[in-house]
Amino acid sequence: MECLDSKKIMSCLSSANRQLMNDIHCFTVLDSTNTWLLEHSFNHKHRNVACLAEKQTKGRGRRGNTWQSSDLGNIYMSLSWYFDEIPTNFSLLGLMVGISLCETLQAQGLSGHGLKWPNDIYIDNQKLAGILVETADNGRRVIIGVGLNVSTQSEPNWCGLQDFINTGLDTENIEVNRLSGQLLNGLVSMLHSMNDLAFEDFKQQWSTWDAVYNKAVYMLDKNRRTEGIARGIDKNGQIIIELEKGQLQHFHSAEISLRW
């Protein structure tokens, strides 16, 4: 199994993005890469920092969920990023992170994957990756956590990249350092140019990866269940659900599942 190497990861970034990144920290075992970055303060000259671990003992997901990380060889990565000014489209950040990851995986030859709002990556109705975005310093600093399954997963409804090697991935032995660097490179490019993306262009990008569009779904929000048809997102990144009588309801935060 390949060990994490910060120099190898940094070498996968474009020359422009290497100038934007201050440091990459790699660990064998860590409680949570997001937590580590939140607990460490960086001055203005040392503020865009990535943290990766070969294993997490207390990985966290959205809405207080845990991220199972018992297997070595997966990717547990977090990026701390400072904005000079909070972007006008900040509410779309989590969705943009999901798009960036999907595009990078597509560039590696993966196909058939998509985003289950707001930013879980699914393929064949199984979870491949999850994202956790947290803020600090009044929103000027964001921590983007990514958990990507590389090895085959034994948990129900989860999968790993190794399950799809014969369906498009360009290598039989996935190089964790190389893939981590490419994922990080995509994220840095996206963050650096966030304000340049018009909403209509973003909406078109999202529709490319939207795995629930026009499908029957149900939303769980504070134990309240709402059923309807998913109709894309609004300008704030909220999912739009068409209810039985045709009215539209927008959800900012809820668990979404397909109705079978």
Q: Summarize the confidence of residues 134-158 as an average pLDDT.
A: 88
Do 11 and 138 lie in one domain? The reply is yes
Residue pointed to by tokens 């045709």 = 246
245 in the same domain as 136:
no
pLDDT band at 174 (very low <50, low <70, confident <90, very high): confident
Residue 240 sits in a domain whose CATH number is 2.30.30.100
Res 42: pLDDT: 72
Write the CATH number for 174. 3.30.930.10
Q: Are residues 99 and 167 in the same domain?
A: yes
* Domain identity same for 100 and 123: yes
Spatial distance between the Cα atoms of 180 and 9, rounded to a whole number of angstroms: 6
Instruction: Judge if 201 and 220 occupy the same domain.
Output: no
Give the integer Cα–Cα distance in Å for 70 and 199.
39
Mean pLDDT of 178-182: 96
Q: Judge whether 201 lies within some domain.
A: yes
Pairwise CA distance, residues 217 & 254, whole Å: 12
- What is the reported pLDDT for 71? 59
The domain containing residue 242 runs over which residues?
213-258
Same domain, 105 and 130: yes
Is 64 within the bounds of a domain? yes
What are the φ and ψ backbone dihedral angles of 158, each rounded to 5 degrees?
-115, 155
For residue 125, being part of any structural domain is answered with yes
Mean per-residue pLDDT for 67-92? 84
Give the count of beta carbons closer than 10 Å to the beta carbon of residue 93: 22
pLDDT of residue 67 exceeding 60, the answer is no
The answer to whether 255 and 220 have CB atoms below 8 angstroms apart is yes
Q: Final residue of a domain: which of 191, 207, 223?
A: 207
DSSP string, 180-196: HHHHHHHHHHHHHTGGG
**In this prediction, what percent of the chain has a pLDDT beyond 70?**
89
Q: Taking a C-beta distance cutoff of 8 angstroms, is the pair 33, 4 a contact?
A: no
| Tokens coding 150 | 């590389």
pLDDT (average), residues 157-167: 82
Looking at the structure of the chain, the number of domains it has is 2
User: How confident is the model at residue 164, as a pLDDT?
Assistant: 85
Please check whether residues 86 and 39 belong to one and the same domain: yes
151 inside domain:
yes
Asked whether residue 1 is domain-assigned, the answer is: no
What pLDDT sits at residue 73? 75
Highest mean pLDDT, choosing among 23-37, 43-57, 144-158: 23-37
Q: Is 84 left (phi over 0), alpha (psi -120 to 50) or beta?
A: alpha
Q: Residue 51's pLDDT band (boundaries 50, 70, 90)? A: very high
* 69 shares a domain with 48: yes
> Which among 58-67, 168-177, 181-190, 219-228 has the top mean pLDDT?
181-190
Q: Given pLDDT bands bounded at 50, 70 and 90, which one contains residue 223?
A: confident
Phi (first) and psi of residue 129, to 5 degrees:
-155, 150
pLDDT of residue 1: 62
Tell me: do 170 and 240 sit in the same domain.
Answer: no
Work out the mean pLDDT of the chain and round it to a whole number: 89
* DSSP 8-state class, residue 35: H
- At position 105, the amino acid (one-letter code) is L
Same domain, 171 and 234: no
On the question of pLDDT at 190 being above 60, the answer is yes
How far CA 181 is from CA of 11, 77, 202, 226, in Å, comes to 7, 10, 24, 40
Q: How many CB atoms lie within 10 A of CB 104?
A: 17
> Confidence class of residue 63 from pLDDT cuts 50, 70 and 90?
very low
One domain for residues 192 and 247: no
Same domain, 201 and 241: no
